[in-house]
Structure 1
């Protein structure tokens, strides 16, 4: 490999591996997210210019860190900003580790908690996490969420301004606050994953692997940084397992024609066995902890366990639906919601009967009328019990509410098959 491609690859790899660490270190040292983000970006831009000619440094991450810190000090000198905190930062040249702050002493985890602070809207948390922690560009984030670049830029700027104005601390919460705050962080990462899993809007790429991969990477980071024996790490482990088992099915989830492929119709030979093995190992880790009385099963752990049942089945007909019904029952007890009940009803249809499932689904009409999966599930159950006209109307409503072209194509095909013998419904979530 020639110098330029090798340098470009090294910059890209260093960006993936070191961006969060560099920005977090700058934010701690200088107390300014804007400055931290800009100086990290400048350091990487300098690497793009210099590494092809000067060679890749022995420690790329340290080179980027040093360059970014020097740029930050130069910026402060030029702007003559001399309040106490910035003057102290200017005078500081050693790289000794900071004193512990909060429950866990790691700059990157502090950065995650700052970006996911509950004072910010969920939209702002997602955008800021992808930009500041993940290192995605504003155009990339705007493209992912189907908004104008200027809109996304303003959203991120307002979020950083609110952090500064509200004096949101750059720290990990204390142990007493950690459970609720970690839950908020994981919710942000799960939202990012779900947007990539089945991207919203009318677009040619219904699956965004750049977003699912980034969500997995950030979840790995959060999991690694949390204490080994904490309940919070357990939930992070459950979320990581859920993401891996879901990501493993990506290659089989959309047909060549761009249609969503149901779980029972997917080519299981196309599933990523390495991701499945890793995900199942994490599920076993949490199951063993729960059985030993060292932990309680949380929401993400139960969702991962449900997905584990699906991926363990060699064929769709081998799925242990009784176990899935039981797991959804546990999930209803700790995290009740109409969507959980909807998914349990689908499992009941397979384990018991579509009539029983339809009766349960119909009780959810008031709370899920604007949710496309409710109408899609109801349409499948109605066709199973022979109510074709009602099924047609339910498909119409599901198509109207569908989030993207892949789902719409699937639902249109299913509606067109109403005259054919009915088949069992499959959970939209498990597609």
Structure 2
């Protein structure tokens, strides 16, 4: 199972010129359908729009930056330069949207400005300190010369290819309206060469066909440079993305810890604490009846003894929910076997680990499987389930499967959504495969830390 999962996990079919996934079947090969594919027209549209947009953004960027730089000796240059950078951020947001729509790029939004102090000067300082503001301005300057190249090459090859390909259909225009036999290849005082006989028409159409079929791939190569510019200058930096992720994960960890504390408090208040209060009252009544009615007192002490056993069991369950001793002493194999034994359906557990991961990762893995098995017991309607744990390179993988009714989703507010957030807080991933009518397979991936 480990090998199978390692091969399939994270693989996604990437659309080609046909616009479908890699598994789609087509009657024509990709090279022949490329000129008519939606992807080619989107990329061609991107190159066409790039020139007018880049002319506007380049003019604005150079003019405003030059003016603000010249006015930096006065106070007016500072807010004007901040406005220049702010406008660059606005145009960058528009370019990211265009890249998503026409190039199919999955690119994140720019990081928000972090003002050190409120007010206008705090905003100005935040704009100046933001690295993305300067990268966006650089994009506005660099993109115009490249857009001239892409626009010229794309339009030239596209129009020339289609013109030559369809030349046999419209060459009659020359003798009818122009007064010559066709497109002139050569001419001087003594001789002129025209494309007008059937062989020459066929060769011209063949050259046009070759150009028409090659143009989509040429446009794709040109837009690859646009993709690199967008990724390098308009996307958030990896460091900024990591900081945002860590801030989000910190919030998830804090919320999870607070929720766990509330759960523990509620369990103590409603469970063991209430039983201990009843126990104290029962023992107080038994003490009062000890001299008057020893038999009744003995019966009350016996009931109190039963309450003590129940309270101890609830405390053990609560302690197991915080961190089970069997996990600390014997590891995941024994701890998960203990969890599986309490499940309402038969569970087969297979743990294949060369060594134990870090205690924190081990604890998250334990509680992940515990919650998934609780879902199997409560909601799946399954008759059997399996738990597999293995290691692939520097990742710990868990997989819980059942033959239940399926239909599980990581929806907002669901237990699986909360579980996915907890895993995400430690750079983990939760993948749910649960078609209607089953079976359900939930796979969790955690970092391996020792």
TM-score, length of structure 1 as denominator length: 0.22
Q: Whose strand fraction is larger, Structure 1's or Structure 2's? A: 2
Q: Whose helix fraction is larger, Structure 1's or Structure 2's? A: 1
